[in-house]
Amino acid sequence: MELADTIHEEYLDEEIIVEQARKGDPKAQEILIKKYKNFVRSKARSYFLIGADREDIIQEGMIGLFKAMRDYQPDRVSSFKSFAELCIKRQIITAIKTATRQKHIPLNSYVSLNKPVFDDDSDRTLYDVMSNNSKELNPEHLIIKREELSHIEEKMGEVLSDLEWKVLNAYLEGKSYQEISIEMNKHVKSVDNALQRVKKKLEKSLVNIY
C-alpha cells in the first residue's frame, strides 16, 4: 500500500496519483474517490433539495469526479483539485437543469443556494434553476444579473435572522455541525435548529417570490 502511504505525506504530488488513476489503476482511483468524497458531499450540499432525495445530487457529483479524473490534463495550469471542483459543479448543475426540464417538477423542487454565485464564471444557481421553468433553455436567460441576485440575497436577508444567516453561510462552506457550533459558540443542536428553520423559511419565501 505505498500509494496509501504517500497520500498521507500531504504535499507529495497528487498529480502522480491522478495520472495513475487515468491509466486505470484501481487503487489510485480508489484513493482519489476516498479523498474527494467529502469534497463532493460538501459541494452537493450547496444545493438544497426540497422534497426529493439528496443522494442523486451526490451521485451526480461523483460522476463529475470521474469525469475529472478521466479528462484532467496534468500540464494544465490548474491543480487537480480545482479542476475536479469545476467538473463536479458542472455535473450537478447540468443534472438539475435536465431534471427540472424533463419532468414537470414544480418550481420549488430544487432550491440552490450556492453562495459565491458570481465570483466564478460558470456558476448560476438559484436564479438559474428558477428561470428554467418559465422559459426554454436559453443561455441569455441564464445570465444572472447583479441586481437580480442581490434582490434575492436581500430577500433572504429579510427573512432570515442573524443567527440563521450566519449558520447558513457556514453550512454552505461545507462545515460540519460541530465546526459551526464551535465557531459560533453554540450548541450543535442550536445549529441544527437554525438550519431547520432556514430550510423552512426559504422553502416558503422562495415560492412566494416566484
Partner DNA sequence: CTGTTGCGAAAGCGTCAGAC
Partner DNA sequence: GTCTGACGCTTTCGCAACAG
Measured CA distances, 177 to 21, 36, 49, 62, 170 (Å):
33, 19, 18, 23, 9
Minimal distance in Å, beta carbon 196 to DNA? Answer: 6
Measured from the CB atom, is 142 or 177 closer to DNA? Answer: 177
Residues of this chain that bind DNA (CB under 7 A): 37-38, 45, 55, 161-164, 176-178, 186-190, 192-197, 199
Minimal distance in Å, beta carbon 146 to DNA? Answer: 26
Residues 6+ apart with CB under 8 A from 109: 49, 50, 51, 52, 99, 100
Minimal distance in Å, beta carbon 2 to DNA? Answer: 15
Measured from the CB atom, is 37 or 81 closer to DNA? Answer: 37
Measured from the CB atom, is 71 or 153 closer to DNA? Answer: 153
Minimal distance in Å, beta carbon 189 to DNA? Answer: 5
Distance of alpha carbon 131 from alpha carbon 62, whole angstroms: 26
Strand partners, 47: 112
